[in-house]
Chain A
Amino acid sequence: MSDAVVEIVRPVAKAKGEEAATEELMVVGRAIYEHPLPVRICHWLNAISLFVMAGSGLQIFRAFPSFGAKIPQKDLIDWPRSLAIGGWLGGALQWHLTFMWIYIATGLVYIGYEIFSRNYRQVLFTRKDIPGVWPMVKHYFFFGPKPPAREAYNPLQKHAYTTTIVLGFLSVVTGFAVWKPVQFSWLAWLMGGFHWARLWHFLVMWAILAFVFGHLVMVILHGWNNFVSMLTGWKKNPDYE
């Protein structure tokens, strides 16, 4: 089914009295199957999981909103309770330590699927994508001309998605270093120690949230047909084939 392109057709009403050996079909559109089911399921599971992980993570952060000493404590920011999940530290930890497993499992299924189905070629940023990044940046941000679309994801998209997958992996790895600084002391050491692991974990979250913001803007700007492709898998009238 991947990369299958179809013509959407509609039978045409014939004029009275006419007879035809074959039925006439009018092409009303084209469609391409862009996103296999496992990709779509993982995408939406992650949308929920990431929302819960970031929200509960921020509530956990509220318990000690600093990366300095405890005495004297100098808070970085008073993050509002209303923009966090869990209500209090105990509640937030329950959400965070529950959904982390859903998030990790989804990530493993997604990576595994992409590799074994060879679908990764659609999303993985490689050397040959490098020349295409700047023209795409010029088009999106500096009113440059629209480069011709050759595949499902343009080089800038591939860059964004590949980076985010790496960030997702880092969010788990830094999280493990913070959660288990004794059992995974080597991991914490690689990051510069417990304090740094906690800071990296925080920064990686903000990097992912920056991606989510950009992603949502792009989804809104690219219209309904594009959005629907992540629900049904099919994109109507793609600008590439």
Chain B
Amino acid sequence: MDRKVDEKKFRQMNRRDLLKLTPVIALGAFAIPKLQDSLLGRGLGFSDWMSARLFRSGHLAPTFSTADLTPFARFPINDYDVDDPGIIFENWSLTVTGAVQKPGDYRLDQIQTLPRIRQNTRHICVEGWDVIGRFGGARLSDFLKMVGADLSARFLTVGCADDYYESLDMATALHPQTLLCYEMYDQPLTRKHGAPLRLNVPTKIGYKQAKYLTDLKVTHVLDKVGYWEDQGYSWFYGL
């Protein structure tokens, strides 16, 4: 025998069951212009937090054979302003400041006394394309030890000759594949590819691998975040 329900009560039941769907309306908050930016900012922040949790210091980015390399001529030249800020190499140095025992100006030949690492890694652009390049340079972790950096500091910020700026979390800075890169394809960096010094960070998205470095600061407080982050992109963006 099926249960009998009075039709008025049936309508009431249906209305109540419909109302139980109201939690779904909460997503409508994303459609409210005043709330949208802050909600999306929090969402991006959560994604960054998850990314930091997923980062493993010992896990290496895949490396590739010579046959897999993208030909140098097809390695895109990217910039946000000019592709050659006209650095005078004789006068160039990397100015190191912040939580370090030996702040000051470091010349390229000083950086080149550190062991040179060469690696074939994938460079991924936020746009979705990627190339496999050959990068050479000193481990950033070796350089940080050379300048007596406080490795318990959380961040590293860099400034560039074209006024670009970026920052890294210390765990990524200390990763064995993070390089102060001064070579590409076994040749000194060309001007358009970031000479004399750029970051090569195979565990990060392309825009964090700043070119034409001029300043490096070890800091506990992130005062300068990054050019693209300030436009609304992710900060951590680990791959």
Interface 9-residue window, one of A111-119, A133-141, A206-214, A230-238: A230-238
With A9-B4, A9-B5, A30-B2 known to touch, is A183 a contact of B130 (CB < 8 Å)?
no
Which chain A residue shows the least CB distance to B71?
Answer: A71
Q: Which of B17-63 contact A (CB under 8 A)?
A: 17-18, 20-21, 23-24, 27, 30, 39-44, 46-47, 51, 54-56, 59, 61-62
Which residues of A have CB within 8 Å of B234?
93, 97
A201 CB to closest chain B CB, in angstroms?
10
Size of interface on B: residues with Cβ below 8 Å to A: 56
CA distance A41 to B76 in the complex (A): 46
**In this assembly, does A2 line the interface, its C-beta being within 8 Å of a C-beta of chain B?**
no
Residue contact A94 to B21, C-beta cutoff 8 Å: no
Which residues of A have CB within 8 Å of B24?
41, 44-45, 48
Q: B55's contact among A8, A40, A90, A183, by CB below 8 Å, is which?
A: A183
CA distance A111 to B202 in the complex (A): 36
CA distance A69 to B24 in the complex (A): 42
With A64-B128, A64-B129, A95-B40 known to touch, is A7 a contact of B5 (CB < 8 Å)?
yes
**On chain A, which size bracket covers the interface?**
35 or more
**In this assembly, does B193 line the interface, its C-beta being within 8 Å of a C-beta of chain A?**
no
- Scoring A residues 75 to 94 as 1 if CB is less than 8 Å from chain B, else 0, what string do you get? 00000000000000111011
**In this assembly, does A173 line the interface, its C-beta being within 8 Å of a C-beta of chain B?**
no
Chain B residues proximal to chain A, CB less than 8 Å: 2-7, 10, 13-15, 17-18, 20-21, 23-24, 27, 30, 39-44, 46-47, 51, 54-56, 59, 61-62, 70, 73-76, 122, 124-131, 202-203, 228, 231-234, 238-239
Q: List 30 A-B contacts (CB under 8 A).
A: A5-B2, A6-B3, A6-B5, A6-B10, A7-B2, A7-B4, A8-B4, A40-B20, A41-B24, A44-B21, A52-B30, A63-B128, A69-B129, A70-B74, A70-B125, A70-B131, A90-B232, A93-B234, A94-B232, A97-B47, A98-B42, A98-B43, A98-B46, A101-B46, A101-B47, A102-B27, A231-B21, A232-B18, A233-B17, A234-B17
